[in-house]
Amino acid sequence: MFKIGLISVSDRASSGIYKDEGIPTLASWLKKSIKTPFETIDRVIPDEQSIIKQTLCELVDKLNCDLILTTGGTGPALRDVTPDATLAIADRIMPGFGEQMRQISLHFVPTAILSRQVGVIRKKCLILNLPGRPKSIQETLEGVKDSQGNVIVNGIFASIPYCIQLLEGPYIETHELIVKSFRPKDAFKSNV
């Protein structure tokens, strides 16, 4: 079973001041986009570096997630420590994911350059810091499309299935009308 950890990093949502929107947005998008059976493990936590690190380690080391998607806490504000916590528990950095997330967001807002989103690997798990706003989450995952739905800039999810495959995780298939995953021809299931 493909296991996905979903973490919403928010002081206000974790304390009940308002309802979290990050995890429902992620869960809904994943449900309509992934063909492969999967389960999610959800956590809503405050913007505290030690808690973020502890939660990431739990989802990787104890609960064996293949993928973790975080939302929130990626800006330059002093309380935004999600990338710092993510980098602190990483075995390897995957800089292309952060670069692509900012490239996508720059099509919509000039302040995308303020984002500190990162992608890392811990053991065999890919961990990605996504933005906190629901619209931005979807744009980051799907990419930039024209009015006919043609992809102008690929979303980050196009690369996730193959990355997880390279990490010896499950083979993941997507619904191509939403996001077409990329693999080299010799990496398709019929060729593996």
Three-class SS of 69-108: EEECCCCCCCCCCHHHHHHHCCCEECHHHHHHHHHHHHCC
> Which distant-in-sequence residues (6+ apart) come within 8 Å of 182 by Cβ?
154, 158, 159, 162
Task: Give me the percent of the chain exceeding a pLDDT of 70.
Answer: 98
Q: In the predicted model, is pLDDT for residue 192 greater than 60?
A: no
- The average pLDDT across 142-170 equals 94
Helix ranges (DSSP H) in the chain: 11-14, 22-33, 49-57, 82-88, 95-106, 134-142, 160-166
> What integer pLDDT is reported at residue 34 of this predicted model?
97
DSSP secondary structure code for residue 143 in this structure: E
Would the pTM count as exceeding 0.85?
yes
The DSSP element (H or E) to which 2 belongs, if any, is strand 2-9
Q: In the predicted model, is pLDDT for residue 184 greater than 90?
A: no
> What integer pLDDT is reported at residue 18 of this predicted model?
87
- The average pLDDT across 22-43 equals 97
- The average pLDDT across 135-161 equals 93
User: What does the radius of gyration of the chain's CA atoms come to, in whole angstroms?
Assistant: 16
How large is the angle between the packed helices 134-142 and 22-33, nearest 10 degrees? Answer: 30
Q: Which sign, positive or negative, has the C-alpha torsion 120, 68, 181, 178? A: negative
- The average pLDDT across 125-142 equals 95
> What integer pLDDT is reported at residue 188 of this predicted model?
83
pLDDT (tens digit per residue) in 119-131? 999 999 999 999 9
> What integer pLDDT is reported at residue 139 of this predicted model?
94
pLDDT (tens digit per residue) in 50-106? 999 999 999 999 999 999 999 999 999 999 999 999 999 999 999 999 999 999 999
> Which distant-in-sequence residues (6+ apart) come within 8 Å of 144 by Cβ?
104, 107, 151, 152, 153
- The average pLDDT across 170-180 equals 93
Architecture of the domain delimited by 2-191:
3-Layer(aba) Sandwich (3.40)
Q: Which of 192, 97, 107, 188 is nearest to 151 (CA)?
A: 107
How far is the C-alpha of 45 from the C-alpha of 10, rounded, in Å?
Answer: 6
How far is the C-alpha of 27 from the C-alpha of 33, rounded, in Å?
Answer: 10
Strand 2-9 to 38-45 pairing: parallel
Q: In the predicted model, is pLDDT for residue 190 greater than 90?
A: no
pLDDT band at 150 (very low <50, low <70, confident <90, very high): confident
Q: In the predicted model, is pLDDT for residue 183 greater than 60?
A: yes
Helix, strand or coil, per DSSP, at residue 5: strand
> What integer pLDDT is reported at residue 191 of this predicted model?
58
